[in-house]
């Protein structure tokens, strides 16, 4: 009897266990959603300053680029250095400026191809609280908080004085410049022309032409001018591309020793011509200093520091007598 009762009890326990096993499992206790793993604090990005030049066509701009990159490294900011393919591409440079504005930079450095074309965009920059620093070539506006540049009127006047000295104070001379829209083109022609008119009544400027800073175009222009004026005694080229055009034309026309050639800026071809005596000399700027000082001014502007409106980066006359002097070598480039 006992064994029968034990069998019944065991059987009941088995049935209960089987029924319990068929029930759905209890839902787990609700847990808070998992949190993403903690991230290290984001590193603060360096202030960004786009540097928009007039071009990359000449070694002058590469020297400006080197100066701006030196300043960026020392002052702990990020820059980009860009420019249109030629110094005649106003629309392309305007587009570059608009793209730079869209990136909301800390400041912008601009060497304007056209002194008037940027005024609407400068208004936009001002409204957005983005300071603009001019370099090399300014604009017809008070919006840029500063401009780092050569005093081009004074420098071109010095070139005129040298021309007058070398041609004996009388005779016919011509000018070729890069453009009549940028402040550098306008001021260098004005500085040279005004000085000749004011101080040297026996010197006549027979022609002023513009070659866009393009060596080939400037060569063709210079050949035409020289051919049209057989008594031409002097030629002033107002930037690197312009003066190389004059040198090419003078060589093709066998004008060595017959024409006093005065240039602007530097570059290997011009330096070689000065050393050989084919070119009388040139005005040199300080392109590395221009690049450095524009970025330096941009950093000060973004911090709200007061700046001089015009930052004079200086100029020097050089010829074969001083081309290898340390103070001249420091501001020349190949």
Q: What is the mean pLDDT of the chain?
A: 89
Q: Could you tell me the CA-to-CA distances from 225 to 50, 164, 165, 173, 257 in Å, in that order? A: 40, 20, 22, 10, 18
pLDDT in tens, 110-157: 999 999 999 999 999 999 999 999 999 989 999 999 999 999 999 999
**Residue 92, exposed/middle/buried by CB under 10 A (0-12, 13-18, 19+)?**
middle
Q: Do domains 48-150+287-314 and 152-284 have the same CATH topology?
A: yes
The phi-psi region of residue 70 (left if phi > 0; otherwise alpha if psi is between -120 and 50; otherwise beta) is alpha
CATH 3.40.50.2300 applies to domain 152-284: yes
Q: Which fold has domain 48-150+287-314?
A: Rossmann fold (3.40.50)
Q: Where are the domains of the chain?
A: 48-150+287-314, 152-284
pTM of the model: 0.82
pLDDT in tens, 70-110: 999 999 999 999 999 988 899 999 999 999 999 999 999 99
């Amino acid at each position: 009897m006992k064994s029968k009762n034990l069998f019944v009890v065991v059987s009941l326990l088995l049935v209960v266990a089987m029924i319990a096993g068929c029930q759905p499992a209890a839902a787990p206790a609700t847990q808070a959603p998992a949190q993403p793993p903690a991230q290290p604090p984001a590193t603060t990005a360096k202030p960004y300053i786009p540097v928009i030049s007039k071009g990359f066509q000449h070694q002058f701009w590469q020297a400006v680029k080197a100066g701006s990159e030196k300043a960026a490294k020392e002052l702990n900011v990020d820059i980009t250095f860009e420019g249109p393919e030629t110094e005649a591409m106003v629309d392309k440079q305007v587009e570059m400026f608009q793209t730079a504005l869209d990136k909301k930079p800390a400041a912008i450095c601009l060497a304007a191809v056209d002194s008037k074309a940027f005024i609407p965009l400068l208004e936009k920059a001002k409204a957005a609280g983005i300071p603009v620093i001019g370099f090399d070539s300014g604009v017809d506006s008070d919006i840029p908080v500063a401009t780092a540049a050569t005093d081009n009127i004074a420098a071109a006047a010095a070139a005129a004085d040298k021309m007058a000295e070398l041609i004996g104070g009388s005779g016919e001379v011509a000018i070729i410049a890069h453009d009549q829209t940028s402040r550098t083109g306008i001021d260098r022609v004005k500085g040279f022309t005004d000085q000749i008119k004011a101080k040297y009544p026996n010197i006549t400027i027979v022609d002023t032409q513009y070659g866009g800073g393009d060596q080939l175009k400037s060569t063709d222009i210079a050949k035409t001018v020289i051919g049209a004026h057989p008594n031409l005694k002097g030629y002033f080229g107002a930037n690197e591309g312009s003066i190389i055009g004059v040198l090419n034309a003078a060589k093709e026309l066998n004008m060595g020793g017959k024409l006093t050639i005065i240039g602007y800026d530097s570059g290997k071809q011009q330096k070689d011509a000065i050393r050989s005596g084919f070119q009388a000399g040139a005005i040199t700027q300080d392109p590395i200093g221009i690049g450095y000082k524009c970025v330096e001014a941009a950093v000060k502007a973004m911090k709200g520091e007061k700046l001089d409106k015009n930052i004079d980066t200086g100029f020097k006359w050089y010829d074969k007598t001083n081309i290898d002097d340390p103070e001249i070598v420091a501001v020349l480039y190949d």
